[in-house]
Structure 1
């Protein structure tokens, strides 16, 4: 990680183990030494690569294709499904911005609309399912639901929603961008679509993600790029990606194996649960002590390595402001963090991995929290 910076935001871009970095560099040298041989054999190579990644995700390789990121997988689903005129897409107010914008694009294309279920931050599984399904009607063509939300660091009951949707014959797309590595079994058992990033908590080289498809709607799936996979069906049709550099995909299993052999994935999850809880409480208690306002965020279905802390009033109340606060924390205090906004309030989102220690969170509470409180008070007087 960057010298001089303390990283409390693993969940955005991850961190690649050195053996995986070295493996990818060796593959790049092979590619550059003879690109003709490399690219002509790329589709065949991908079959073995898919198998190794599928094993990590605990899904059959025949159900999984590789894509560059979760957004690419989402876009492939949007572009492939046979939406009728007036089709509607249902999602929630927790949806990732790019995923939401893609849904709006497809809805406009088909003279439809996106219906948004307003889910409170503290909603439990039953209420989430009820609110999402209340938006479903005869025009609903797709439900898009987060498995773990980005801005609000909570989980959603995707299996329950998929089961309810199946009764209406509506396909479900699960955005599981944060699930690999966090969950022992990241791909839920349902018929529909799932996308997940492997460069976040699973620590694969960046540009590595999976698209899993099950059930009758998978026959519609086509890759984003029309290439020589056209005679094939999913997932083999996704294996023909032309001159795209897929060395990140090929080195991904080295990342998984490195963490398993040196630490163990179960040990990581236990460590992240304990350390995430410690970091959350020490930082939110520091905010509470200085402001007199409870900084705890009541998250209905929390996630072990992802923790949410409410910022003092006046900080990061818009998406644009959240970027400014994040940059200030990085430049002035040397912490890399995720600052998010939900329902007009700003939040600090912590995401914990193996390189984090208790001292990281103690230092943030000591150095950054008092200055952020001062900043909020100054903003409140303007």
Structure 2
């Protein structure tokens, strides 16, 4: 079911002075924050760094903006090192969806071209693919990948949709709704052999997995540093390799438009780039305090423990197994199945998320796939086993009441 099966609660991580890890964040202690994977959370040191930079920007804007491209270029070097990318391949964008939009806008026109996506794809990215297909006069083909599909079955399902008309292949490295990997390394190798451009949506990858670009042959990769990397929101990377990258431009035309890729992305008018400049502070904080390898190990163990205790509570409530067989699991995130009647569609899952925050004091991710609702558990260093024990004891019975009322 998961990379790490944990039967005992992992010991909470502490700061160097012995305080709980959560004290390094400004998260509201009145809420249980169990959804790091959606919007991230920024440590105080990175918030303070960003405020310092904003004070400089607002104090002397005429001095700030002419020198901004040089500062952004320096930040790209630091962030590329964290990702294991070449700084000359990496541009900074507001989020992974923006990176995908840059790719969609920059590809050469292919009349009648088809775009292949999967049924695990992030909705906004898939919508962008549909718009591109309409401009091309083509269509989107959707690869159906069972949730429990292993590497071979997932690979075959994706490549079965690729043919002579395919102008672009879009595949998630880590899926959002279903918290699983897709075999982008193997898909990338075959796509390159066939001459099909590949865009890898790595929105969840930075910080959650080490060196996310390693072994992946793709034309484009985009990932959020403001999720698991804890950078200020609005920080993401677009990595482009090969001749198609020369057609990529920022979504805002500015005075750097004549510069080569990726330099042209470093100058976008009066864009507030302080999140990009403060991102390395967040990454460095986790590394200096616990080390990213230890942080990832803790997150995975805690997510595994959370899935066990919450899943057991749901199974006791409903009499049905709440565990989920995910074919290619990822560290730090798990799925448990919700009672029948809850979260069966994206809109229903979003409504459940909002209700849980308002009525239960729990910020959690509720997702839907194939008409089934799931609770997606994600863990970060500031979470503890007690968070998930609280959900199992206090929230699961209420979820049962909501499910009965929905029938």
- Spell out the pairing of 1:1-382 with structure 2 (5 A cutoff): 1-189=27-215, 190-380=217-407
Matches of 1:17 and 1:261 in 2, distance apart?
13
Contact 2:356 2:364 in 1 (8 A): yes
- The C-alpha deviation readout for 1:51-95, integer Å capped at 9, x for no partner, is 111111111110100001101100000000003110110010000
SS in 2 for 1:167: helix
SS in 2 for 1:145: strand
TM-score norm. by structure 2 comes to 0.92
SS in 2 for 1:121: coil
Matches of 1:112 and 1:213 in 2, distance apart?
24
Matches of 2:207 and 2:70 in 1, distance apart?
27
Q: Which runs of 4+ in 1 moved over 2 A?
A: none
- How many angstroms does 1:45 deviate by? 1.4
- How many angstroms does 1:188 deviate by? 3.7
Q: Which runs of 5+ in 1 are unaligned?
A: none
- How many angstroms does 1:226 deviate by? 1.4
Matches of 1:138 and 1:311 in 2, distance apart?
41
SS in 2 for 1:40: coil
Matches of 1:252 and 1:144 in 2, distance apart?
27
Matches of 2:403 and 2:186 in 1, distance apart?
40
- How many angstroms does 1:191 deviate by? 3.6
Matches of 2:58 and 2:244 in 1, distance apart?
39
Greater shift, 197-206 or 35-44, is seen at 35-44
Matches of 2:101 and 2:295 in 1, distance apart?
31
Contact 2:200 2:218 in 1 (8 A): no
Contact 2:82 2:211 in 1 (8 A): no
Matches of 2:256 and 2:149 in 1, distance apart?
43
Matches of 2:54 and 2:390 in 1, distance apart?
39
Instruction: Tell me the number of residue pairs that the alignment of Structure 1 and Structure 2 aligns.
Output: 380
Contact 1:158 1:188 in 2 (8 A): no
Contact 1:83 1:141 in 2 (8 A): no
SS in 2 for 1:203: coil
- How many angstroms does 1:139 deviate by? 0.9
Contact 1:282 1:361 in 2 (8 A): yes
- The C-alpha deviation readout for 1:262-303, integer Å capped at 9, x for no partner, is 111011011011111100010011101110111111110011
- How many angstroms does 1:3 deviate by? 2.9
Matches of 2:317 and 2:109 in 1, distance apart?
53
Matches of 2:118 and 2:79 in 1, distance apart?
30
Matches of 2:73 and 2:351 in 1, distance apart?
43
Matches of 1:298 and 1:90 in 2, distance apart?
25
- How many angstroms does 1:198 deviate by? 0.4
Contact 2:250 2:264 in 1 (8 A): yes
SS in 2 for 1:294: coil
TM-score norm. by structure 1 comes to 0.98
